[in-house]
Structure formats: structure tokens, C-alpha cells
Amino acid sequence: MDVGKILAPLRETPTLLAVICMSRKIYIAGQLVPQEDAKISVYDHGLLYGDGVFEGLRSYSRKVFRLAEHVERLFNSAKAIWLTIPMTQQEMCAAINQTVRANDIVDGYVRVVVTRGTGPLGLDPNKCSNPQVIIIADVISLYPPELYERGLEIVTVSVMRTHPAALNPRIKSLNYLNNILAKIEGLQAGCIEALMLNHKGEISECTGDNIFLVRKGVLYTPPIDAGILEGVTRQAVIELAEKAGIKVRQIPLTKHDVYIADEVFLTGTAAEVVPVVKVDSRAIGTGEPGPMTRDLEKRFHALTRE
């Protein structure tokens, strides 16, 4: 039975259709098509080599949070890998908004993918044509609410964050194996997030989140040159903290700094602001989410609802 065909007349009513068969409208090759019809070639180098870039964004009350910042980061990632995105940043913003509206997403998640395009087997990106721009707007599955109540336990893992001279973590590339290997190691230790060190043994970031710590009223986070993604949520939290009169220092940090912190929390588009109460089996501070974390969580939620 072809459910897609039977339900075709209902395509005009995206909410109803989404409820019935969860078919999304995907932006691909410049148009919105039903999920079942959104396809790319198996010769696309995005698939064959992870040759491409992506972004993960959130919409709150139908508005995409920090859209221009995410799109700018996407274009910067693309520039760093010599990938020309076949549209302007303004056109990309419009396409993202169009996809969110077409899927009637209120509070949801947007994934933008730009691949190198189709080419022969072999690494040479110059032999590829037609970079694919794909936009998916969907709902987001969040960490369980208890984790925000109680706080996360994380572990540092043996998998090192990529050396900036190998693949700069500032590039949000389609090759996420570095983070996936770290995530697996964390999961095997019973933790849903894993903390990665850089090539100097300093704290870098978690597999999909940036890290902050609080000590004696000062907020600390690793600098960009520690080899991290310039998180959009990280930047928003730094701005909120500074506005609230909190001193923020971006300096190299070690595991020791984390262990003796009064508070630790993570930031990311998916996680937002999430407290961490245990690192490598050591309780952080009182072992409960701390007051600055709670305050910044509140300020962040208010910001997303503005």
C-alpha cells in the first residue's frame, strides 16, 4: 500500500498530514518535496566522504533562534572546505523559514545540510557538481526533564578532539566521526555526554555541546583556539552573563579546573543550558545544579521566548 499516494490530496494540510503519517516536506534542489521523494545520489560526496557541512537550529514559537548567526557559521564552514553554497545567506535564511512554515513547526529543530554534490569515485572535489542544499524541519526529542532537574553525569573520554590543523572543530562538517567515537565511549561508561580534551590535554568541549564552569562567582569557558565549535548557544550565554554583570573568562582549562569547579553546565542548540553534577565520578560543588547555572538557564529560556 502506498500511503503517500492515498494521502496525496491531504498534502495541502501539513499539520494533519504530519499527524497522520509524519511525512515532512523537505527542501531539496530548490523546492519543497514530500519526505519520501527527497533523495540524493549515492555518488554524492557528502555520503561517500562526509564531504559537506551542516547546521542544527531550533525554532521557538515558529521563530528560528539566531538564524543569521547559524547561517553565517554554515557559510564560514563551507568557505573553509572550499565549498560554494549555491545561494546567498539571505536566500538560505528565506529557505529555512519557508521550510519551517511549510511543516507547521512551532517549537522544533531544523537541520541544514550542504553536500559537495555528485562526482566520480575518488576524493577530488573539483570533479563534483551540484552541491545539494537540504533543509529538514522537524520536532526535537529533548533530554528527559529529570536530567535538567538533577543534572548530568559526564566523563572525559580517551578520544581526543580533532587537532585544529587536521580538521578544525570550528568547521561543522558532515564528518562527525570524531564526536561519534567520543559519544560511544561516554555511552559505554553510562553517560549521555562525553567531555573531550584537545591535543594539549586541555578541556575542549562535549560531543554536541560547549562546556562552562563557575568558580568563585566567575564564569569560565575554553577559548575558541582550544579547538571547539563556536557555539551559538555558548555565545548567547556569554552575552547573557555579561549583561547580568557576571565576569566571563575564556581561558584554557584543565580537568583539574573542572573537578574543583563550584558549578559546571553545558550549552547547545539541542540541550540549551543543562547542569552537570558529576564529572569522572567526582561530584561537582554540592553535587546539585548550582545557582548561576539555574539563573543562566532562566535567562536563556527568556531569551528564546523574546
The set of catalytic residues is 172
| Burial call 109-120: b when 16+ CB within 10 Å, e when fewer | bbebbbbbbbbe
Identify residues 152-191 at the interface with ligand PXG (CB under 6 A): 179
The span from the CA of 224 to the CA of 236, in Å, is 15
Contact status, residue 206 vs residue 221, Cβ threshold 8 Å: no
Using rule CB under 6 A, residue 269 touches ligand PXG: yes
Using rule CB under 6 A, residue 205 touches ligand PXG: yes
Which range binds ligand PXG by CB under 6 A, 29-37, 206-214, 253-261, 280-288? 206-214
Query: Which of 14, 52, 231, 290 is in the footprint of ligand PXG by CB under 6 A?
Result: 231
Which range binds ligand PXG by CB under 6 A, 31-39, 119-127, 231-239, 255-263? 231-239
Contact status, residue 303 vs residue 235, Cβ threshold 8 Å: no
CB of 91 to ligand PXG, least distance (A): 21
- Using DSSP, state whether 39 is helix, strand or coil: coil
Which range binds ligand PXG by CB under 6 A, 20-28, 180-188, 203-211, 295-303? 203-211
Residue 119's alpha-carbon distances to 45, 80, 175, 285, in angstroms, are 7, 20, 18, 53
Identify residues 33-72 at the interface with ligand PXG (CB under 6 A): 56
The span from the CA of 220 to the CA of 213, in Å, is 5
CB of 280 to ligand PXG, least distance (A): 20
Instruction: Using CB under 6 A, list all residues that contact ligand PXG.
Output: 56, 179, 205, 208-210, 229, 231-234, 267-270
